[in-house]
Amino acid sequence: MKNIVLIGFMGTGKSAIGRKLAACLDREFVDTDAEIENITGKTIAKLFACDGEIRFRSEETLMVKKLAKQENLVIATGGGMVLNPENVRLLSQNGVFICLTCKSEVICQRIKNKKSRPLLLKGNLFTRVNELLNERSEAYSIAEYTIDTGSCAIEEAIEQIVNYLQEKDYL
Ligand code: S3P
């Protein structure tokens, strides 16, 4: 069975929903950021600070190469994963992309007190989130199904994703 690949901006719920979705489908769950932290022994914030974004992005692609060979996974990607067309190409070979989205107000509310996202530390949070969302809208549009996680509870989001996957015979 194809991997279920959750994409979307920071704070849209990829990790929280991915973990529960995997449990619900009895599949293995992989959070790419958490895996990169395990492999490098550094938090994402520390990896960015010590080694730079380029190193982080190359760790992401190494991770994708590994995951693309597997099946039956639920994968929560980092918000910038789909910016690299090579990552998209690899993951799409054996994966279905589901995008989680929500309004920038909701994203800011969810992440305003967290210091773990290096790309959002500078300047005004709301402005920065909107700027990045605009830059990335095309990248996120590769998903074949998109769900707004700001307007429903986690359980409802999962139900809708499962319904979609069943309809399309992915399960
Ligand atoms: C990033 C999103 C983060 C993490 C890194 C870069 C991005 O993951 O991979 O800080 O470029 O959007 P989350 O989407 O899980 O916050």
- pTM of the full structure: 0.98
User: What distance in angstroms lies between residue 8's CA and the mean position of ligand 1's atoms?
Assistant: 9
| Nearest CA owner, ligand 1 atom 8 | 78
Measured from the CA of 118, which atom of ligand 1 is nearest?
A: 10
Express as a percent the part of the chain with pLDDT over 70: 100
Query: Is the model's pLDDT at 15 over the cut of 90?
Result: yes
Query: Is the model's pLDDT at 63 over the cut of 90?
Result: yes
Amino acid 101: pLDDT:
98
Strand residue runs (E) in the chain:
3-8, 28-31, 73-76, 95-101, 145-148
**What are the structure tokens assigned to 35, written together?**
């895996």
Q: What gap in Å lies between CA 19 and CA 28, rounded to an integer?
A: 9
User: What distance in angstroms lies between residue 117's CA and the mean position of ligand 1's atoms?
Assistant: 6
Measured from the CA of 120, which atom of ligand 1 is nearest?
A: 10
Pocket flag, ligand 1, residue 119 (CB < 6 Å): yes
Q: What gap in Å lies between CA 64 and CA 58, rounded to an integer?
A: 10
Mean pLDDT of the chain: 97
Pocket flag, ligand 1, residue 6 (CB < 6 Å): no
User: What distance in angstroms lies between residue 167's CA and the mean position of ligand 1's atoms?
Assistant: 30
8 has which bridge partners? Answer: 100
Span 130-145, average pLDDT: 98
